Amino acid sequence: VGRDNTGAYYEYSAGSLTFGVGAGQTEDDLIADANDDFVSVAAKYAAGNYKVAIGYEENSAVSGITASGSVTFGAATVKAKVADYDTIDTQWALSVDYVTGPATITAFYADRATDPNVSVITETVAGLGVAYDLGGGATLAAGVADNGTDTVADFGLKFAF
């Protein structure tokens, strides 16, 4: 009982360009009529400190296009993303990462719709976080965010093996 996602994704890179295509099926035993086929295609260009990407995805309920980009200036990286779906208002997000020694400070702001059946922006979210590299694959991380309804906070250790 639950949700099963099956799919395949193929990615090809040549120099600064990367292309990807994916297809799959979603099967949800808990929600009637939630079984669906989906497809996606994307391209990314990365050169030096700049990256831009565009993607398209579609299933029987919704289709949309997403564009993103990032640029690094010294210790700061600025990222932006915009998504336009046929059933939801245009959504966007902006974030800034600043690396200082073993610490990375991140701030973000976004307008997003949380319900695909609602055609307007339903949340504005913002947050601030910090991650401190302890070495050996361990990171101490903390953050606080306004999730559109409440102010939430998180603190803990992350491990990468």
Give the residue carrying structure tokens 């400070």.
Answer: 105
Q: What is the pLDDT of residues 111-156, one digit of tens each?
A: 876 665 555 556 789 999 999 999 999 999 999 999 878 899 999 9
User: What average pLDDT is seen over the chain?
Assistant: 88
User: CA end-to-end span of the chain, whole Å?
Assistant: 31
Task: Specify the pTM.
Answer: 0.79
Distance of CA 62 to the CA centre of its chain: 18
